[in-house]
Structure 1
Amino acid sequence: MGILPASGRFMCTTCRLRPLRSISVKTGRLYYDDPYLLEFDATAVETRSVGGHFGVVLDKTAFYPTSGGQPNDLGTINDVPLIDCIEDEPTGALIHVLQDTIDAGPVHCRIDAGRRADHMQQHSGQHVLSQAFVELFDWPTVSFHLGAVNCTIDLAADGVSREQAEKAEDLANRVIRDNRGVFVRYVAEENIVEAGLRKATERAGKIRVIDIEGYDRSACGGTHVRTTGEIGGILITGLERAKKQTRVQFICGDRVIRYARMANHALEAISQTISAPPLESAAAVRNLWEEHQQLRKQIEQLESQLIDYEAAQFPVNNGLAVASFKNRGIDKLKMLASRICSRPGTIALLADEGDQLRVVFARSADSKVDVAALLKQTVERFGGRGGGRSNLAQGGGLTGSAAEVLQFAQDRCTGGSGM
């Protein structure tokens, strides 16, 4: 860690860092009482190398560090971009990680206003939504994550239906429309039980509580709006069940507007493509999909009939059916080989030259040739990999031409080498 020298310039002693506990300053957190503070002055007091970057400790800060599911703020210190803000929990110091070094002493700081406002909307919205699930269904929130695109809460619920999610969403949006006050309160540890928190806290000392008027109280160190109306709105965008919990994906505020705009553009494009009104597009797409599935089955049936005809006409010389194809596909190749080998005393050696050379070897039920062993010899000679059973095997990634590979396999069959 670097300490301010008499020269007033930071000296980063990366090669001989002291333990973090040597940080001597507990950073004052301005965002606790004024999350709307976006520009402030402070004093740079200590430094540290963090992952090869320059880190600085201020005597006070309005930059929020990554904590409690909420990402850190961004901005500048003396016009140098901030790339991270991390907390040293033992000391209470916040380390501001910068793109470049700065001078010691007084610093001027600016917070990315858009990012801060977005995080305030998402975090306050999470409190509102979590309480809605508790109030309606008694499902507590186990964890929270504020992402760059989506936010999630994990509920202690084995399953959440779309109808239940929409009921919670409706309640949350009513609370937002009520424009209730959101207050920061500090409660002594010995009085925390009487505070009526939604979720018990393990924090000690003076505990910061976010109080949504007449609705929710939660211990929290994050940045929040002054009134629920500033959240703007909540939209649940997905539900995922995992390990006896349900992950609820949601967005708030300006993110809802952006999502609605993108969804509307997508819906308009689909509507124009299938020539159906936007609100009828889902049913129209469902009908198209069902038609597609039916046509796919018909195509598969016709392809199967065609392969039956092809197999019946396929030339077999001395019990061997040998051929190579271009981009036939391994599944169709296996089907053709199996149908060819419905004839007694037949071995099929087929190759497909697509993105890589693939082979399929098959034999009829009365043949004693082990095509898996034949494939193993072929792979040993031409590389690649594969496997199968004694009556049907496949391989891919072979080197050389299809003609060379098939000739090798054919020679082994006619010569009986290893068969």
Structure 2
Amino acid sequence: MTLDEYEIARRHTAEHIFMKTLVDMLENTRVVKVVHEEDINKIILESDLIEWNDVVKASIKTNEVIQEGRDVYIEYYDSIEEAKRKYPGIRAYEARISGEVRVVVINGYDISACKMPHVSNTRECIMFLPVNLTKVKGRLYEVEYYAGSQAIHNAVKYIGRFIEILRKFNVDYDKINKVLDNMNRELSSLKRSIKELSEYIAKNTPYIDGKYRYLYLEYPYLDLDAVGRVLSKRLDEVDVGIVFSYDGEKYRFILASSKIELEDIFKNLINVADGRGGGRRDWYMGYIKDIEKGKNFILDQME
């Protein structure tokens, strides 16, 4: 499905109102590119610094302007210089403009050079709803948003999800941030504990002598980054290091060795145990779905 011109006009006019508001709030801010996809709209912009609260504040003002029902109309000028003589404060990406200029006027609010379609009254935009802010690189940021009827639909959906979360935690609106902050601290503490426990297990599990001298770890929810760092230091005392760890969905693995070729073992493991992965000659990582088949295959190779 492609967007019709009127739908693009609603979304793009809403973007003009939002960006005018943001430019007034933040110095050295300008639009670089606007993308309208079927399910989302994206504004790529340049700014020294944009925070989510800036986006929210600008969006509140944007929706006020939308509801004011301001007229939107088009004017044409032979050049950007001529347009600037009438509208000194016109918003324009001048490096991309040559020849005749199409000027979009939102009565009493914004004047900008633009070739895109626009509605004739701001109320036709219905609503502006920002949903994400991402720093792309350097001074480039991306704002994702909904407009028109899609904004209302998604606002109801998000509010419904938010209320569901409030009910699940049995808290009201004013207390949810405190609850989430506490959960975040607890999660950070839990991650540190898992990291420390993973390091302890990797350091203190004894190796096994068989066909090869190998280290075998099979524990759920290991911090594999922490295990990997310890394992790399223990490869001088064993022929092979083997790690399996359930992450809640599948079993992740590490196969490591500084002494033997692992490629055939790795390929056979993911084939036998329905897995995927990759790596280099002495270090492979991935996941398997059938832990019993994977474990039996590996231990057969080692013993």
TM-score by length of 2: 0.68
Residue 338 of structure 1 and its aligned partner are, at CA, apart by 6.1
**Matched residue, 1:233:** 127
- 1:242-391 matches, within 5 Å, as 242-302=137-197, 305=200, 310-311=205-206, 321-322=213-214, 331=224, 332=227, 335=230, 347=238, 349-351=240-242, 359-361=255-257, 372=258, 374-376=259-261, 379=263, 382=265, 384=267
Residue 261 of structure 1 and its aligned partner are, at CA, apart by 0.8
Matches of 2:25 and 2:62 in 1, distance apart?
11
Matches of 2:169 and 2:32 in 1, distance apart?
43
| Residue pair 2:129, 2:151 contacting (<8 A) in 1 also | yes
Q: Structure 2: where are the runs of 5+ without partners?
A: 246-250, 268-277, 287-293
Residue 210 of structure 1 and its aligned partner are, at CA, apart by 2.0
Residue 337 of structure 1 and its aligned partner are, at CA, apart by 9.2
2:99 aligned with 1:172: no
**Matched residue, 2:85:** 194
| Residue pair 2:208, 2:215 contacting (<8 A) in 1 also | no
Q: Which has the higher contact order (CA 8 A, sep 6+)?
A: 2
Matches of 1:259 and 1:164 in 2, distance apart?
21
**Matched residue, 1:161:** 51
Residue 225 of structure 1 and its aligned partner are, at CA, apart by 1.9
CA change 1:150–1:210 in 2 (3 A) is same
Matches of 2:163 and 2:128 in 1, distance apart?
23
Matches of 1:182 and 1:357 in 2, distance apart?
60
Matches of 2:140 and 2:63 in 1, distance apart?
24
One of 22, 39, 50 as aligned partner of 1:133? 22
Residue 141 of structure 1 and its aligned partner are, at CA, apart by 1.9
CA change 1:307–1:256 in 2 (3 A) is same
| Residue pair 1:118, 1:254 contacting (<8 A) in 2 also | no
Instruction: Choose between structure 1 and 2: higher helix proportion.
Output: 2
| Post-superposition CA distance 1:218-247 (Å, at most 9, x none) | 333333222222222323333223232332
2:291 aligned with 1:402: no
| Residue pair 2:129, 2:155 contacting (<8 A) in 1 also | no
| Residue pair 2:214, 2:302 contacting (<8 A) in 1 also | yes
Judge which range, 349-358 or 266-275, deviates more.
349-358
Instruction: Look at both structures and tell me which one has the larger radius of gyration over its CA atoms.
Output: 1
| Residue pair 2:12, 2:118 contacting (<8 A) in 1 also | yes
| Residue pair 1:157, 1:244 contacting (<8 A) in 2 also | yes
Q: How many residues align?
A: 270
- 1:62-101 matches, within 5 Å, as 73=3
Please give the secondary structure, in 1, of the residue aligned with 2:44: strand
| Residue pair 2:103, 2:114 contacting (<8 A) in 1 also | yes
Please give the secondary structure, in 1, of the residue aligned with 2:39: coil
TM-score by length of 1: 0.52
| Residue pair 1:326, 1:353 contacting (<8 A) in 2 also | yes
Q: Which amino acid aligns with 1:119?
A: I
Matches of 1:209 and 1:140 in 2, distance apart?
17
Q: Which amino acid aligns with 2:297?
A: S
Residue 154 of structure 1 and its aligned partner are, at CA, apart by 2.7
2:56 aligned with 1:150: no
**Matched residue, 2:272:** none
Residue 143 of structure 1 and its aligned partner are, at CA, apart by 1.9
Matches of 2:184 and 2:252 in 1, distance apart?
32
Matches of 1:165 and 1:333 in 2, distance apart?
41
| Residue pair 2:266, 2:284 contacting (<8 A) in 1 also | no
CA change 1:277–1:404 in 2 (3 A) is same
One of 105, 111, 117 as aligned partner of 1:211? 105
| Post-superposition CA distance 1:339-392 (Å, at most 9, x none) | 798xxxx5464545786986444xxxxxxxxxx2x223x54x65657668xxxx
Please give the secondary structure, in 1, of the residue aligned with 2:260: helix
Question: Percent identical across equivalent pairs?
Answer: 17
Matches of 1:234 and 1:124 in 2, distance apart?
10
Residue 117 of structure 1 and its aligned partner are, at CA, apart by 4.2
CA change 1:348–1:333 in 2 (3 A) is farther
| Residue pair 1:351, 1:406 contacting (<8 A) in 2 also | no
Matches of 1:188 and 1:168 in 2, distance apart?
32
CA change 1:246–1:321 in 2 (3 A) is closer
CA change 1:132–1:289 in 2 (3 A) is closer
| Residue pair 1:158, 1:246 contacting (<8 A) in 2 also | no
CA change 1:244–1:352 in 2 (3 A) is closer
Matches of 1:186 and 1:338 in 2, distance apart?
70
